[in-house]
Structure 1
């Protein structure tokens, strides 16, 4: 086998398979997977013998063990010229084995994906950051992914739709059409077998899958503005890859299809919100979307409900127009009854007989100042009057970010105008047409800022706790 050489140039498909096989094998060669159990070593032999499980005469393949010893020695000595030479030698041997041998091609192709997954397991967070040019701000995120993955044994290359199927999926998730081409290009790049992005994607997808329905947080990295389409759209690609698993999870706990679609559609809504304000695509609230894809956030009767062990946090999405939901006790009962279908943790340890379970609504709409700007017959009066607002802190003027806006200011603009704004000047440049838009801007133009009070509805849980 070692002396068999092709008399002609290798076919492109053979050369690509040989290259990928070599790239995987040189990363696995120094690990226990090479020799433990039904190992890489065994299946490599099996493939090169054309899958002949009866004959299994290893003698002609002694060169594999000899190559591995030379490779390990060169690697340990940090002899880069010898390392390169041994890699080239293995590539030549793979080409020779593939030439004119359909059985070898078939068996190598069957094993190659598994070898590539095993090879990616050998990468470290430090290597991935260095390869992708990710700075120190990404250390905690990448190391959290690395640490979490060490405790699990499931790995698999993320399957993601392609072509027309991908376009259909993006349309289902309400992603603006203007962004489809860039997202498709990012998906292709992120899922390339040789890309360190795939290391990040596999671990992110696994954590989404493993934590569906419970309140364990999933490590979420910073927005990767300066790292090409792959960085800009990384989390969108992850959410697209996770969508089939989220839908399966929803079906398993009997979430109605319309509720499932509304929750998954949060992805497209956030992208559209940013696009309307910035005129280009992006996702800057991927941490919130992560909650929806992990099965802990559901859009119930217009409002986004975040389920925790001892309560529910409720947010008013910018799409809730007109806002007709009245968050009264009957509404709280319905929210609780829905979330009880979560498989674990929701309501764990709650002292139901003491009425210790609270549904908390957090929104700029609860700022008492809004009443000063809305007409008495405005639709939001019914929503506002259902609460006795309690501020998060004693300060009437909450902290502003570096752009001169508070969280309440941003929420007010997003809700009233359905768009993202960069800074205070950007917000003040908007043109108000509706009563609510006039209210949102009048408060800012008067030199004030919107707060986000929290008001709670205590849930007694009578008759519904199993």
Structure 2
């Protein structure tokens, strides 16, 4: 077989243009360690520890990359794995991993899962080197389980942000919230940031958030003392101050918002969050910029947040992801 390159691999695997360009920009340095895939028994133990649903295990096991039988897939795996483990502890300029092709073969769609399975020993060793307790280590990496569940439902395995950062050792789940070390930058302010992530599935109770912020401040001081945190930052639709027009004064969302000083909104440049909220609140996927009336009419209107979403869009307005911050010194 002739030597592989990005164009050959992309053509044979049917990769998206974005993923192909991403791989092309990551040549494999000479002497880079090749990924070592765990045996089936170890894979199952990892999948259990990572909270991957049992229904997915069989498909994952049958898509194991092999350098002899699937050299193109192995070529891609080596580069994704190298991007992960060569950036342990580094979240700077991270822009997410590109989409895998929705209509690709099962082995291609599971490329990232096998990357994470190969990297479990690497990130666990990194965590141990920083004295990070097993409880937080595994709680952090278990974000993969929810991503697999969500991706199987949507057919996209998957476009990822949180999981590569978790396996790089810069994202940590601490109580109700999760944090990226070196997160969203606030203009004109110096120092390291903790970017706050708000996972779905649990109420955003103020007490739980208070506890998480306090634990996070102590956690990063203890385990990353050379990277002092100056502030907490958040970029989320949950910070859209238009929600105050619809939600009760004492709602958990508004109490969470009030912790943050918002950066000014530029509607011409700001990221619209209509589709993000549709997926987060209603578990519905829609990729077009405008959500049509027939979609809105089919949405449940049980909660004040659900009603706010539909009413706002029907008025001709949009929701936005906003950026806010508050100083770490505010944490008692």
The TM-score with structure 1 as length reference comes to 0.59
Aligned pair count reads 316
Higher relative contact order structure (alpha carbons within 8 Å, sequence separation ≥ 6): 2
Distance 1:138 1:379 in 2: 38
Q: Given the alignment, which residue of 214, 225, 231 partners 2:90?
A: 214
Q: Secondary structure at the match of 1:245?
A: helix
> Which residue matches 1:364?
237
Unaligned runs of 5+ in 1: 1-22, 28-121, 351-356, 400-405
Alpha-carbon distance change, 173 to 433 in structure 1, aligned in 2, over 3 angstroms: farther
> Which residue matches 2:5?
124
Alpha-carbon distance change, 444 to 342 in structure 1, aligned in 2, over 3 angstroms: farther
After the TM superposition, which residues 132-211 of structure 1 pair with which residues of structure 2 at under 5 Å, given as runs?
A: 132-134=13-15, 136-146=17-27, 149-150=28-29, 153-162=31-40, 165-186=42-63, 188=64, 190-195=65-70, 196-211=72-87
Unaligned runs of 5+ in 2: 183-190
Over the residues paired in the alignment, what is the CA RMSD in angstroms? 3.3
| Structure 1 position 319 matched with structure 2 position 198 | no
> Which residue matches 1:409?
274
Alpha-carbon distance change, 366 to 221 in structure 1, aligned in 2, over 3 angstroms: closer
After the TM superposition, which residues 365-444 of structure 1 pair with which residues of structure 2 at under 5 Å, given as runs?
A: 365-391=238-264, 393-395=265-267, 398=270, 406=272, 408-417=273-282, 419-423=283-287, 424-425=291-292, 428=296, 429-444=298-313
> Which residue matches 2:104?
227
Alpha-carbon distance change, 144 to 432 in structure 1, aligned in 2, over 3 angstroms: same
- 2:262–2:322 Cα contact (<8 Å) kept: yes
Alpha-carbon distance change, 331 to 304 in structure 1, aligned in 2, over 3 angstroms: closer
Q: Deviations over 1:142-180 (max 9, x none)?
A: 22221xx22x52323422341x54344323323234433
The TM-score with structure 2 as length reference comes to 0.80
The CA deviation at 1:204 is: 2.0
After the TM superposition, which residues 278-293 of structure 1 pair with which residues of structure 2 at under 5 Å, given as runs?
A: 278=154, 281-293=155-167
The CA deviation at 1:197 is: 0.8
Distance 2:200 2:85 in 1: 28
- Deviation above 6 Å: which 4+ runs of structure 1? none
The CA deviation at 1:216 is: 4.8
Alpha-carbon distance change, 384 to 157 in structure 1, aligned in 2, over 3 angstroms: closer
The CA deviation at 1:398 is: 4.7
> Which residue matches 1:42?
none
The structure with the larger Rg is 1
